[in-house]
Amino acid sequence: MSRYRGPKLRITRRLGVLPGLTQKTSHKKDRPGQHGKNLGDSKKKSTEYGIRLEEKQKLKFNYGLSESQLYHYIKEARRRRGVTGLILLQLLEMRLDTICFSLGFASTIAAARQLVNHGHITVNGKVIDVPSFQCQINDVVGIKPKSTSKNLIENNLKNINFTEPPAHLTFDKVKLEGTVKNYCDRNEVLLDLNELLVIEYYSRR
């Protein structure tokens, strides 16, 4: 299944706030679909499978992943020692496009992915154009030394909603560089998610 490119507010009306997908909010409060106005909170799909599916969809849409990409991260999280749900979130938060979003280089993860694809972002001084690139502790994420790249990022930083990066990242406003200091803590993840339900969703695969 390919990456979603349809209307984003339709997704947030169904799944709730997804900071990595869009910063916009819809003036409509009902769930999308023909019968959205007739579905009160008590009548929403509430089967165990349905709840797990929605949590999985939150993760998928927020980080802009395809189904196969998300399943790849699930398998990698299972393979590593530790709490699988937390490891999954840490893997996603260490993606280059997610780190660019967290540093304020772009307003959404999709916009950050475009910055990376277009060669505006460097890691340890080397241009990286792969959004899924896994950053490591002590990596320095910066901007390509061109005026167009610098002006683009500076404009984005002026309009960003988040004033400070999460605790696992540090940001030098003069050099426009961010440094990965550690893996993120669970409370630093902006997405409202029960990651255990995502693991359970994939438990039979």
Mean pLDDT of 93-113: 93
Q: Strand 121-123 vs strand 169-172: parallel, antiparallel, or unpaired? A: unpaired
pLDDT, tens digit, 9 for 90 and up, residues 135-193: 999 999 999 999 999 999 999 888 876 567 899 999 998 899 999 999 999 999 988 89
pTM of the full structure: 0.85
Q: Within 13 Å of residue 32, how many CA atoms lie on the same side as its CB?
A: 11
Mean pLDDT of 66-89: 95
pLDDT, tens digit, 9 for 90 and up, residues 22-65: 766 656 666 655 444 544 554 555 788 999 999 999 999 999 99
Q: Could you give all domains of the chain from N- to C-terminal order, each with its CATH number?
A: 8-91+189-201 (1.10.1050.10), 95-182 (3.10.290.10)
The pLDDT value given to residue 82 = 92
pLDDT, tens digit, 9 for 90 and up, residues 70-81: 999 999 999 999
* Farthest-apart Cα atoms in the chain, separation: 54
